[in-house]
Amino acid sequence: MMATMTPAAAKDTRKSGGTADSAGATADGGAGTNGGADAKGASVVVNAIAVLRTFSAEEPLLGVTDIAGRVGMHKSSVSRILATLEQEGLVERDPETRRFRLGLGLIAVAGPLLAEMDERRVAYPVLRRLTEQTGETSALMLWNGDEAICVEQIASPHQIKHTTPLGARYRDAMSASVQVFLANQPVERVRELLRSGTITFPGLDDAGLQAYEARLQEVARRGWAGNYGESSMDEVGVAAPAYDHRGDVTAVVLIPAPRFRVSRERLEDLGEACMAAAAQVTTRLGGRAAV
C-alpha cells in the first residue's frame, strides 16, 4: 500500500476567460478581420491549455461535462478540443469509462525541457544518494513564480512511502518546499501571495501573518524548513535550498515521509541531511550560498 502526497494545488480550476465559440467576433456580430482571426486562434490555444490543466494526480480521469464545468466552456467546445488533443496524443480515452486522461504525447513535448534543466540533471545522483542514506523519498522542486513544482523524484524503498507525480504543484504555505522558496522572496511579495490567496494560508490575519513571516526568517537562518503534519496529518517534509552562481535560490531539495516513521528528533536529522544534499547540488551547479 502506498500513501501519496496530495498537492496543495494540483487542481487548476481557473476559467479560460472566453470560449472558442465566441472568440474573434466583431462588435456587430460579423466575422472578424485578420486581427479577429488571430484573437480567435489565440483563444483556442488558451482554452486547450485550460482543458489540459484540469487533470490532476487526484483526478486523472475526467469526462467532458466535468471539464466543461471547470473551465467555463460549452461541452461541444470542450469535445472539439479533446478530439484534437487526442489526435495529437496529448490526451487519451479510457476504454472502460470513456473518460479522458493525459496522454504520453505530453512527455514528448516536455522531454526537451526536462533534458535541458541543469538543476534536474545535476540533482539526480544527489537525490539517489539522499534516498539511500535516509530511506525516504527525495525530490527536486522548482519555483514557478507562485508555486513549487516537482521536476525530479527518487522514491523510497519502503512499501509505505510518500511520492508525488512529476509536475505536481504546491501552493500550501506550510509545505516545506513553499516555505523555503518564500523565505527567499521579498516580504512584500510574500504578503501579496498570501493575501491574494495564491498561496493558501488558513487563518490569515495580522497576527498570523507576523507569525508566518517570523517562521520564514527562521527557515532562512537555519537553512531548511520543516512541515510536521501541518499541511497533511499523515505527512512530514523537510526542504532546503540550492543556489545558483548569483547566490539566488534556483531549486529546493525535498524529503517527504510518512509521519508515523518520523519523530521530532528524526525530523531534525532529515533536515540536516536535506541541507547537506542541497549544498551538494549548489556545488555541482557552480553556485554559492547567499551570504
Query: Which residue, 76, 105, 134, sits at the end of a domain?
Result: 105
DSSP the chain: -------TT-------SS-TTTTT--TTSS---HHHHHHHHHHHHHHHHHHHHT--SS---B-HHHHHHHHT--HHHHHHHHHHHHHTTSEEE-TTT--EEE-THHHHHHHHHHHH-HHHHHHHHHHHHHHHHHSS-EEEEEE-SSSEEEEEEE--SSSS-----TT-EE-BTTSHHHHHHHHTS-HHHHHHHHHTTSSB-TT-SHHHHHHHHHHHHHHHHHS-EEEESSSSTTEEEEEEEEE-TTS-EEEEEEEEEEGGG--HHHHHHHHHHHHHHHHHHHHHTT-----
CATH number, position 78? 1.10.10.10
Regarding whether 231 and 90 lie in a shared domain, the answer is: no
Q: What total number of domains does the chain contain?
A: 2
Task: Average the pLDDT over each of 36-40, 156-160, 171-175, 217-221 and give the range with the smallest value.
Answer: 36-40
Regarding whether 93 and 126 lie in a shared domain, the answer is: no
257 located within any domain: yes
When the pLDDT of each residue in the chain is averaged and rounded to a whole number, the result is 84
Regarding whether 51 and 151 lie in a shared domain, the answer is: no
Regarding whether 166 and 66 lie in a shared domain, the answer is: no
Query: Which residue, 65, 84, 105, sits at the end of a domain?
Result: 105
Task: Average the pLDDT over each of 98-102, 113-117, 140-144, 256-260 and give the range with the smallest value.
Answer: 113-117
Residue 23: which pLDDT band, with cuts at 50, 70 and 90?
very low
Regarding whether 56 and 126 lie in a shared domain, the answer is: no
Q: pLDDT tens digits for 137-184? A: 999 999 998 999 999 999 999 999 999 888 889 999 999 999 999 999
291 located within any domain: no
Predicted pLDDT of residue 140: 96
| pLDDT greater than 50 at residue 3 | no
Global pTM value: 0.65
250 located within any domain: yes
Greater confidence (28 vs 245) lies with 245
CATH number, position 152? 3.30.450.40
Regarding whether 239 and 130 lie in a shared domain, the answer is: yes
Regarding whether 258 and 148 lie in a shared domain, the answer is: yes
Regarding whether 92 and 168 lie in a shared domain, the answer is: no
Q: Which residues span the domain enclosing 218?
A: 113-284
Predicted pLDDT of residue 19: 31
77 located within any domain: yes
Predicted pLDDT of residue 4: 45
Regarding whether 202 and 148 lie in a shared domain, the answer is: yes
Residue 20: which pLDDT band, with cuts at 50, 70 and 90?
very low
Regarding whether 259 and 135 lie in a shared domain, the answer is: yes
289 located within any domain: no
| pLDDT greater than 80 at residue 237 | yes
Q: What share of the chain in percent tops pLDDT 70?
A: 81
Query: Which residue, 105, 137, 163, sits at the end of a domain?
Result: 105
Regarding whether 193 and 120 lie in a shared domain, the answer is: yes
| pLDDT greater than 50 at residue 192 | yes
Regarding whether 124 and 42 lie in a shared domain, the answer is: no
